[in-house]
Structure 1
Amino acid sequence: MGTIAWKNWRAARGRKQQGAPQYEVLLYSDASVRGGPLVLGPYSILNTLADPSPMMPAMAMRGEHLVKMPDLVDPQTKELLPTNSKAYHGGTAADEMAALLSLSCGVRCRVGGTSRDWTINGNDPYGQPVFWDMHPLRRPGSSGQELLPRITTRKVDLNGIQDLLLTFPEIAESKAIALVRAARMYSNALWWSNEDPNFAWIQFVGAIETAANTRRSGLQGGAAIKALEELEPKLWAALEAADGSTKQDVAEIMVPNLKAQKKFVSFVADYNQGPPETRPAEFQQLDWLKLDSHMQVIYGHRSNALHDGTPFPAPMLQKPYGTYEEGWSERPLGITASSGGSSWDAHEYPMTLQTFEELVRGCLVEWWKRLS
């Protein structure tokens, strides 16, 4: 059972021409859009030519409903059918497409409501203007505060992203579900980054973890012990005097936790695109040779944020130092930092949210390409 947009798109394959639209939704973004229209199976993305600042309906998406919603009751027996939420991602087909657009371009993109419908008055070829679920959107966060300054320079090139988006209906069902969920988490992180950067960190990590969970962990036998040593150094140190059998038993007990963390770290190692082309001064640069270690720290912060409510360290919740001309710091500055009565060493705040956003998007887009 695939996602709505995936099933709808696959139902449109093989048609010789585009079908008539049934609805139109507005897609809000603070990025400038060029090109279009972009035809994607039963969906068309149109450029509204809107001024991207501050947050405008920059695109309109028209679509068709080709697949009916699943029945809840057996039409013959009148009995309730078994429930199924394997493809659930918390949104509509339009939300799926907005998230895929967001990930493919690295920009904020969100559905703002339905503006036109062709099913009310079928005699009108231009459709019936409507105002359904319309809520003018604004970029969350303080005015002038941008924790992800690089995304403000990115453009939406509708013609340039077509090849990547066209692979979506060709991806296997379970992988397509994971892609949509990861894209929606990435998109949520972009949208809320200025209002709640701690939430953005959680969403970015979750996007990678969602994609990583489609891969095998390979943690059996000696691999589990090695993972315990690499991922839980404090526990490993406490086991220093233990014999091999005890270490193996502890590793096997820890396997569920180790699997999740190992998948996350390995996924980033396999799919990251390396340092950005434009880099700041050397003292502001991230040590990419220690990327695995950085990912372990970030994964630990995410676990603390989810399970005991401890936010990410304050330096990781702040705007990066720099300018558009000279570049942006890849890591928070200083060998120590303090805020709100708490303090951290530099190794506890390895990179900025901006650096992690670029890392996450690079990994997810590369994974998407390999899926197809």
Structure 2
Amino acid sequence: MAGEHDDADSAIDHTAPATVHVEPGPYLWRTLRAQASGAKATSGKEALLYTDSRLASAQDRLDLGAATVQVAVGSLADPAVPAARVVLRWWEYDESDAPLRPDHAVLVDNAQDYWLGMHVDQEFAAVLSLLLGVRMRSGGTIRRYRPDDLAGRTDLVEHVVPTLPPRAWSGRPIVRLPVGGQELVSLDDVAPRVADLRQVSAQHAVTMVRAASVFSDALWVCDHDPELAWLHCVTALELAADRHDRDHVNAVELLRKDKGKKNFEEASAKGTEALEHAAELHRRRTRAEKKLHTLLVDFPPVAPAVRPAGPAWIRVDWVDQADLWRRVEMIYAHRSARPHGGVQFPAPLLMPPLVAGAEHSGGADDSEPVWHAGGLGWRNADLPLTLDAFVHLTRSCLLSWWASLPTAGIG
């Protein structure tokens, strides 16, 4: 906590003369890799992370190498108000040889590969939200310190307590999350997963942290603006799907196949760099559904640990990939119609399900409308999944994809 330091702080090498060249990437990723490379710790910060879930750990502090995590002592007096439950304390390293900020031209052309617009605490909160399946946001820095002053000084200039927007429905939540004191969420498995993050490439780290950020935004607003949560979840899947596609598809060959010989030769005449740039733009802008389908096939979501009780129609067959893709494809169609045509998601998908915990919003009869809402009668075919089920699907796919990423050398 504030004013204290621990063994992890003492273990940091504050005198090492080494600097380290680290590629552009998430601040969290760069910090973890810099520490692992033996870079010199120059200063440190402490931040509070807020959640409406009850966290616990068998350890007093979790050591992440360049950072330590501690569960704050306290209670959730009001589950609707997120409380400061995690203290994150991290070191910053001498990266004087590293291109911390790509020049403007590089950034504009490659913003998807480099820029996240978040700090270490914000990135860590997003990653923690994905790993634990809880709402989590950073309020910002509360303390700054140096190697020669581990207690440091309090700094609340940038600290803002995040507020949770009110529920759109006063009854059951739309997405079931472990809020309040309903159940304990353990932090004990976090450290090795965060260590996994520092082992991946800069490009994979950017995609992973960005997808985690979008997913955490979905959890934060799901009971207030469920339609936005749907859009965020699809975006998180698209981010992983595009990176997975990029890892396995030859963009130049794809351009040759799709554009024909004449157009390909015209692009080739502009030089190798221009050809590769054009090919990558083409790959990103095409095959959206195919990329998403490949992600779901390669990293199929597992069924929730707790299935809803009741009639069979409220449960989804998580093993039948064809049926699951049919459902996701319908969600993707709703997602595409929203920004491009202004067509809202079906009203029942924006409400708590008829049966608590249901994975499917419809009913047992496919021939007649099963739900009247938003001025229309909705059939089963219009309601493929509940938002609760889609949040689970998104998180399951993202974590499986993360676990599959190849490791990259450090140093």
- Indicate conservation of the 8 Å contact 1:141/1:194, yes or no: yes
1:265 aligns with 2:308: no
Q: Which residue of 2 aligns with 1:198?
A: 227
1:286 aligns with 2:322: no
Q: Which residue of 2 aligns with 1:100?
A: 127
Instruction: State the 1:174 CA deviation.
Output: 0.9
Instruction: State the 1:256 CA deviation.
Output: 7.3
- Indicate conservation of the 8 Å contact 2:362/2:383, yes or no: no
SS of the equivalent of 1:147 reads coil
Q: Which residue of 1 aligns with 2:3?
A: none
Deviations 1:18-67 (A, max 9, x none): 96861111100111111141222312111102323341010011112213
**Alignment equivalent of 1:4, drawn from 2, 19, 27:** 27
**Alignment equivalent of 1:141, drawn from 151, 160, 166:** 166
1-side partners of 2:142 and 2:101: how far apart? 29
1-side partners of 2:165 and 2:183: how far apart? 19
2-side partners of 1:6 and 1:256: how far apart? 25
| Structure 2: runs of 5 or more not aligned | 1-23, 259-281, 407-411
| Structure 1: runs of 5 or more not aligned | 74-79, 225-253
Q: Which residue of 2 aligns with 1:351?
A: 385
2-side partners of 1:256 and 1:81: how far apart? 21
Given the two structures, how large is their TM-score scaled by the length of structure 2?
0.72
Matches within 5 A, 1:229-248: none
Q: Which residue of 2 aligns with 1:40?
A: 64
Change (3 A) 1:343 1:4: same
Q: Which stretch has the larger CA shift, 191-200 or 308-317?
A: 308-317
Q: Which residue of 1 aligns with 2:208?
A: 179
Identity level (%): 28
Matches within 5 A, 1:112-191: 112-118=139-145, 124-142=149-167, 146-152=173-179, 155-191=184-220
2-side partners of 1:81 and 1:273: how far apart? 39
1:212 aligns with 2:241: yes
Q: Which residue of 1 aligns with 2:44?
A: 22
Change (3 A) 1:144 1:25: farther
Instruction: State the 1:339 CA deviation.
Output: 2.5
Instruction: State the 1:322 CA deviation.
Output: 4.0
Letter matched to residue 350 of structure 2: L
Instruction: State the 1:70 CA deviation.
Output: 4.9
**Alignment equivalent of 1:276, drawn from 279, 304, 321:** 304
Letter matched to residue 7 of structure 1: R
Q: What RMSD over aligned residues (CA atoms) do the two structures have, in Å?
A: 3.0
SS of the equivalent of 1:135 reads coil
Change (3 A) 1:72 1:261: closer
SS of the equivalent of 2:220 reads helix
Letter matched to residue 60 of structure 1: V
1:296 aligns with 2:329: yes
2-side partners of 1:273 and 1:316: how far apart? 20
Deviations 1:137-178 (A, max 9, x none): 332222665211244356442222222111001001111111
Letter matched to residue 125 of structure 1: L
2-side partners of 1:24 and 1:124: how far apart? 13
SS of the equivalent of 2:49 reads strand
Q: Which stretch has the larger CA shift, 296-305 or 29-38?
A: 29-38
Change (3 A) 1:42 1:72: closer
2-side partners of 1:156 and 1:21: how far apart? 31
1-side partners of 2:333 and 2:285: how far apart? 11
- Indicate conservation of the 8 Å contact 1:145/1:194, yes or no: no
1-side partners of 2:329 and 2:254: how far apart? 20
Letter matched to residue 392 of structure 2: E
- Indicate conservation of the 8 Å contact 1:271/1:367, yes or no: yes
- Indicate conservation of the 8 Å contact 1:43/1:63, yes or no: yes
Q: Which residue of 2 aligns with 1:56?
A: 83
- Indicate conservation of the 8 Å contact 2:41/2:92, yes or no: no
Letter matched to residue 296 of structure 2: V
Instruction: State the 1:96 CA deviation.
Output: 0.9
Deviations 1:310-354 (A, max 9, x none): 22111111113445xxxx111113352332323433112101110
Letter matched to residue 362 of structure 1: S
- Indicate conservation of the 8 Å contact 1:56/1:137, yes or no: no
Q: Which residue of 1 aligns with 2:36?
A: 13
Change (3 A) 1:160 1:283: same
Change (3 A) 1:12 1:255: closer
Q: Provide the aligned length of Structure 1 versus Structure 2.
A: 329
Q: Which stretch has the larger CA shift, 343-352 or 189-198?
A: 343-352
Instruction: State the 1:125 CA deviation.
Output: 3.4
SS of the equivalent of 1:215 reads helix
